[in-house]
C-alpha cells in the first residue's frame, strides 16, 4: 500500500515517535524501568493513550494516578536519558521515511513532536532524515502540547505555509486531534506499516 499525497498539499509535517521511528517499544521499556525504580506501573494502553504528550505531562499523570510526588522535569529528563542509551535499537519506519525522502527538495518538510527537541534531533539523525527536514518543533518549543494544535501550527509558521495546505503524518490519537484542531490534512500512518491494521478514515481534513 502506497502513501499518496494530494496535489493541493504544499507542506508535509511528520510526527517522530511511531511515525518516522519505530521507537515506541523502547519508550515502553524505559517507562517500565522508571516504574520499577519509583513505584508505579505504566501500561501499553497508557503509552498509546498519552503518545504525543510531553514527558513532564506524563509524569504529572503518573503522580495523580499513583499518589506520588515525582519531580516532572527531573523524571522526564531521566526517562529520556535512559531512552537514548538504547537509541541504537530504534529503527526507521520505511514506508513513511520513503515519503519524506521522495519529497525532500520538492515540498517544505517539518517534524513536530511531543518529545524534547534534543532527543528528537538524535532520533531523526539515527533514522537518517535529520538533514532532510527544514524545521523541527519539540515539546520545549511550545507551551500547549498535543492535542492542542500549537506544535503543528508552529511547524506551518516556520515553513511559511498556511495550515490548510499542510499534510500531517501521525500514529496516535492525540496527534490526530492536534492536526484536526490545526485545520490540517491528516494521514494515519499505522495501516502502512502495521500488518493487519485497518482504519476507517486514513486521510481527513480538520475543521
Of these residues, 15, 22, 150, 171, which one is catalytic? 15
- Positive/negative CA dihedral, 136, 141, 146, 148: negative
Q: Which residue's C-alpha cell is 499518496?
A: 4
**Dihedral in degrees, nearest 10, Cα atoms 174, 11, 187, 206:** 60
Does residue 88 carry a catalytic annotation? no
Question: Look-up: residue for cell 504544499?
Answer: 10
**Cell triple for 206:** 480538520
Q: Assign residue 128 a region: left if phi > 0, alpha if psi is -120 to 50, beta otherwise? A: left
Q: 107, 30 in Cβ contact below 8 A?
A: no
Catalytically active residues are 15
Amino acid at each position: 500500500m502506497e502513501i499518496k499525497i494530494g496535489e493541493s498539499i504544499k507542506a508535509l509535517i511528520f510526527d517522530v515517535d511511531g511515525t518516522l521511528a519505530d521507537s515506541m517499544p523502547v519508550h515502553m521499556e524505559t517507562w517500565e524501568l522508571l516504574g520499577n525504580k519509583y513505584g508505579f506501573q505504566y501500561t501499553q494502553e497508557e503509552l498509546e493513550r498519552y503518545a504525543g504528550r510531553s514527558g513532564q505531562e506524563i509524569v504529572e499523570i503518573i503522580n495523580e494516578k499513583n499518589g506520588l510526588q515525582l519531580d516532572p522535569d527531573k523524571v522526564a529528563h531521566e526517562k529520556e536519558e535512559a531512552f537514548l542509551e538504547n537509541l541504537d535499537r530504534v529503527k526507521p519506519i520505511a514506508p513513511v521515511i520513503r515519503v519524506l525522502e521522495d519529497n525532500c527538495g520538492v515540498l517544505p518538510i517539518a517534524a513536530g513532536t511531543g518529545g524534547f527537541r534534543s532527543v528528537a534531533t538524535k532520533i531523526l539523525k539515527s533514522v537518517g532524515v535529520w538533514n532532510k527536514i527544514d524545521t523541527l518543533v519539540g515539546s520545549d518549543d511550545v507551551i500547549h502540547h498535543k492535542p492542542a494544535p500549537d506544535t503543528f501550527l508552529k511547524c506551518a509558521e516556520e515553513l511559511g505555509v498556511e495550515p490548510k495546505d499542510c499534510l500531517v503524518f501521525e500514529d496516535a490519537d492525540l496527534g490526530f486531534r492536534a492536526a484536526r484542531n490545526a485545520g490540517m490534512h491528516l494521514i494515519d500512518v499505522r495501516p502502512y506499516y502495521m500488518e493487519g491494521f485497518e482504519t476507517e478514515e486514513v486521510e481527513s481534513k480538520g475543521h
